[in-house]
Structure 1
Amino acid sequence: MLIVEKEPKSIAAEAYRTLRTNIQYSSFDNNIKTILVTSSGPSEGKSTTAGNLALSMAQADKKILIIDCDLRKPTVHKKFNISNEKGLSNYLIGEVKLEEVMTKYSDNLYLLTSGTIPPNPAEILSSKKMKEFLESVKNQFDSIVIDSPPVLAVTDAQILSTIVEGVLLVVATGETEKEATIKSKELLKKVNANILGVVMTKMPVKTGKGYGYGYGYGYYYYYGEDHKKHTKRGKKKK
């Protein structure tokens, strides 16, 4: 659910705005414009996180582009209810022009869906054309949010992490194995990815009648080599 759009006054929507602010202040020296959102495995909420983060950034009067770089099992077009007949893959192979596949969703938010699923996603994402494309759109937008396949499933997220300025790792509370999260972090670090932090999804929500399984979000992040820990959390009851 794109809760930032559907329920902008909810606590969960506020949690995404907190995430937006934390990213803004995560680097005092460098402006982080390209942000990759990934997870260890499927169904952890990475596409939902990417969509809500992009919406919250756009609400801050910034020009935002969200790109679906999951060329294997894309879902961004479903979240925003737009066509995915043609998109990024079609542009990268020269089949269409960028303006033909980029959708203006709102005044400040633009969408680029994945397009036709290719037989060689990793090769396309690691191509010179992909790097040149990302560099060119950086000059047109304040921030770019990229949705990618899970880290442990394929190499796509590792490849993309080398051409973006920051990575968010989504972890589903109570579902994601600890070892999977550690392994994902190790794989990203092997390619020198700049991990901004971890977004916790599906967090348990305490209610007056005990504990329920609600729709909560948390954001964990660290700075520097000493990994000083801080936590910002928002929760929404069903």
Structure 2
Amino acid sequence: MNPREAVVSILRRWPYVVAGVLVGALAGYLASLLTPPTYRASISMYISAQYPGDNASAAYQGSLLTAQRIASYTQLVESTRVGGQVARNLGLPDSPSQVAEYISASAVPDSVLLNIDVRTNDPQKSVSIANAAADEFSRLVAELERPLDSNRPPIVVARTVEAAVPPAPQVSPNTFLNLVVGAFVGILIGMAVAWWRASLDTTLRSSATLAEVSGAPVLGTIPQDTQVREDSSMVLREGSSITGESLRELRTNLQFVNIESDSKVIAITSCAPGDGKTFTSINLAHALAIAGFRTLLIEADLRRPRISSRLGLESNVGLTTVLTRRAQLSDCLQLVAGALNVLTSGELPPNPSELLGSNSMFSLVEEAKGRFDYVMIDTPPVLAVTDAAQLSPSVDAALLVCRWGETTRNMLGDSVAALRKVDLQLAGCVFNGAPLQRRSYQYGSYYSDAMTPSPDGASAARTTANESQAATTELRGSPPASAAYPSRPTPGPRRS
């Protein structure tokens, strides 16, 4: 998975990221509620050295002494000696070590200032301890720095710059910061979960992956169009749509498939049931028919036939009738929309695989090749049964329909391997049910605008509609394929 695919996979699973943000922010908020508030009181102490003499040398010596002492004074402020004396002065129930933990000291760089911070869960207690600690620290410094001669003043003096005043401000918890940190951590966790789910998801979600795994070109991508039902009989007969344009694109690409035959016999199959092979078979055959190609659609799914019911055709007479030599091919053809010839399944046999692999099926396809430009055969899924493989001697190539987000890499690989075992050429793949892209929405808007009624009530696409209707009417008036098109000389046996 390259970086771009990883980003797309994470964005596609955005609910995990959103859930991570919400959970992280909620955790930060709960942490703020459950954390006891902390109040801080601060005092600045001024440290000065008193050297005898008023010259510059004495002042310099005093500054050096102060710099040397101030690092030791930070530890002195945090000592249990100061903490114990503060606890006794204030009458606190806390032990000297506990009070010492409340107090922290830090020296201000390049100065003679010492900051004392006190943090407790009570704002008044913080102020009281801070002031008491400053007083005790000043007394302790004076005691430690007093010369042996008691009549002389202390060498170093600590003075309070400004006493702490109540109430002490609350410094934690910082609810806003906890929310931001929780949301950020939630984003990272959500993205990690989304990426983990994406790495476990082996379903096909891009045409590039489909082409890479199958080793065949993607001839068409049929979008998931909410305006077109999956059980629609003929999309091109329902007006302009994004799905209709994708079917026209599939028809155009199919014309350039390298098949060494005057007429092309295509088996349309899928990896598993529900991938949309019947929908593709009906609409692709119809697209070829209205483009002027002599097209025959054979319903060879003898286990779960769907073409006859979707098109409202007679299903008792059809493919099995011809294969069992009870009728001729021309007698069983049914014309749909005045352009498409359909051979329905007929009565369902107990041995569909044997019938599809028989010499009768081969002879039927050879006869159809003499009359039609395209013979489209709707077959059962490859992985479900072996019917599609049984047709390999009769067809030129196969068209594999895969469903976006449902067909897995393993399913596609197994399907391609099954076709290769019987030396059946894979002409290409069709990606069905792909989500609409932004470009498709723009095209869809273009189609909708083309059908918008004009001020006089006429359709803005009247000319295009009339041309399409004229072409359909011309084909509708044509006789059945068996009568309209003379039979070609029957070709010799096909090479295996």
Give the TM-score normalised by structure 1: 0.82
Quick one: which of 345, 350, 357 aligns to 1:126?
Answer: 357
**For 2:429, what is the secondary structure of its paired residue?**
strand
Distance 1:62 1:103 in 2: 16
1:18 maps to what in 2?
Answer: 249
**For 1:161, what is the secondary structure of its paired residue?**
coil
Displacement of 1:99: 2.9
Displacement of 1:107: 3.3
Distance 1:122 1:60 in 2: 33
Displacement of 1:138: 0.5
Q: Higher Cα Rg: structure 1 or 2?
A: 2
Relative distance call for 1:138 and 1:130 in structure 2 (3 A) is same
Give the aligned CA root-mean-square deviation in angstroms.
Answer: 1.8
Distance 2:351 2:376 in 1: 22
1:137-187 superposed Cα distances (whole Å, 9 cap, x missing partner)? 111111111000000111110111332112100001011122111100001
Quick one: which of 159, 174, 180 aligns to 2:390?
Answer: 159
Displacement of 1:3: 4.5
Question: Is 1:55 paired with 2:286?
Answer: yes
**1:89 counterpart letter in structure 2:** T
1:194 maps to what in 2?
Answer: 425
**1:192 counterpart letter in structure 2:** D
**For 2:391, what is the secondary structure of its paired residue?**
helix
The 8 Å contact of residues 302 and 349 in structure 2, kept in 1 or not, is answered as: yes
Displacement of 1:8: 3.8
Question: Is 1:150 paired with 2:396?
Answer: no
Displacement of 1:30: 4.6
Displacement of 1:205: 2.2
1:182-204 superposed Cα distances (whole Å, 9 cap, x missing partner)? 10000101111110111011112
Displacement of 1:12: 1.0
Question: Is 1:181 paired with 2:401?
Answer: no
The 8 Å contact of residues 62 and 108 in structure 1, kept in 2 or not, is answered as: no
Report which structure shows greater RCO (CA 8 Å, sep ≥6): 1
2:343 maps to what in 1?
Answer: 112
1:36 maps to what in 2?
Answer: 267
Distance 2:328 2:263 in 1: 27
Flag as ranges the 4+ runs of structure 1 deviating above 2 A.
2-8, 28-32, 95-100, 205-208
**For 2:366, what is the secondary structure of its paired residue?**
helix
1:221 maps to what in 2?
Answer: none
**For 2:372, what is the secondary structure of its paired residue?**
coil
Relative distance call for 1:83 and 1:37 in structure 2 (3 A) is same
In structure 1, the gaps of 5 or more residues are 209-238
Give the TM-score normalised by structure 2: 0.40
2:117 maps to what in 1?
Answer: none
The 8 Å contact of residues 138 and 144 in structure 1, kept in 2 or not, is answered as: yes
Distance 1:16 1:31 in 2: 23
Distance 1:63 1:13 in 2: 20
In structure 2, the gaps of 5 or more residues are 1-231, 440-496
Question: Is 1:94 paired with 2:314?
Answer: no
Distance 2:303 2:297 in 1: 17
> Greater strand percent: which structure?
1
Displacement of 1:28: 7.3
The 8 Å contact of residues 296 and 374 in structure 2, kept in 1 or not, is answered as: yes
Displacement of 1:98: 2.4
Distance 1:169 1:61 in 2: 24
Distance 1:27 1:207 in 2: 32
Relative distance call for 1:90 and 1:29 in structure 2 (3 A) is closer
1:83-128 superposed Cα distances (whole Å, 9 cap, x missing partner)? 2112100121122332332101133310000011101111111111
